[in-house]
Amino acid sequence: MKIEDIRRSAYSMPLTNPSFPPGPYRFFNREYFVITYRTDAEALQAVVPEPLEVAKSLVNYEFIRMPDSTGFGDYTETGQVIPVRFKGEEGVYVHSMYLDDEGPIAGGRELWGFPKKLARPKIEVESDVLVGTLHYGSVLCASGTMGYKHRPVDHETVLKGMRVPNFILKIIPHVDGTARVCELARYYLEEITLKEAWTGPAALGLFPHALADVARLPVREVVSALHFKADLTLGLGTVAFDYLAK
């Protein structure tokens, strides 16, 4: 393979057999179960990187079911998203993500810098309860429950939250182990069609684990819960801040 062929075709590894196709990526009937909870301000300050600023002592714990996505297929994801400010603009910082599919793990880490790890999240309806769980191996790390479709939620309120900028810390090491890329990436959800949105009483438990440390941001109070479905496009990103720039 010639040098020019590599330059023209390279976008992922392995070069001749990548784990995912080029984007953009469209999601159909993407199902969210989001529990917003209050945590310790000191815990948030310890994990949110400058120049982001912690907006409030809240965390969104998200379970996301993706039954139909271009390039990535059918998978489930869970993790923590933190409300932040960047240069005065409201947004969210993606702190942790756990999912069960190789393609979006590789694509998410390589393209955007999503903090994705392999685990076993689930979303299920059990009688009158919506249930979300995260297992890392055999160990239960997170358990969320919500009364199923108790009350509808205004769609504009949900859409406003979905349209804010999302920030991620993207790190790619050099061959000597030092950081070759260290950037604050920014992306948006695009072409959103919100289909339904609900709320209800909710509860969340986070449990200590050495490699799935969701309990590092402890639950002090459940503030609210949302359950909604949407079609959307995961927009490709831009660099908001370069940590290695002189």
- Give start and end residues of each alpha helix (H) in the chain: 3-9, 41-47, 102-107, 155-162
pLDDT at 201 over 90: yes
> Which amino acid is present at 72?
F
Split at pLDDT 50, 70, 90, the class of 66 is very high
Tens-place pLDDT, residues 181-200: 999 999 999 999 999 999 99
CA 74 to chain centroid: 16
pLDDT > 90? residue 78: yes
pTM: 0.96
Q: Is the peptide bond before 21 cis (omega within 30 degrees of 0)?
A: no
**Residue tagged active-site, from 2, 56, 87, 116:** 116
How long a stretch of residues is the chain? 246
Per-residue pLDDT for 20 more than 90? yes
What is the C-alpha end-to-end distance of the chain, expressed in Å? 36
Say if strands 89-99 and 58-69 run parallel, antiparallel, or are unpaired: unpaired
Task: Give CATH for domain 22-242.
Answer: 2.40.400.10
Is 116 designated active site? yes
Is-contact 164 91, C-beta < 8 A?
A: yes
In whole angstroms, give the CA distance from residue 86 to residue 182. Answer: 17
Q: Could you tell me the residue ranges of all domains in the chain?
A: 22-242
Residue 71 — very low, low, confident or very high, per pLDDT cuts 50/70/90? very high
Give pLDDT, residue 246.
80
Check if the beta carbon of residue 51 is closer than 8 Å to that of residue 23.
no
25: tokens are 């990526």
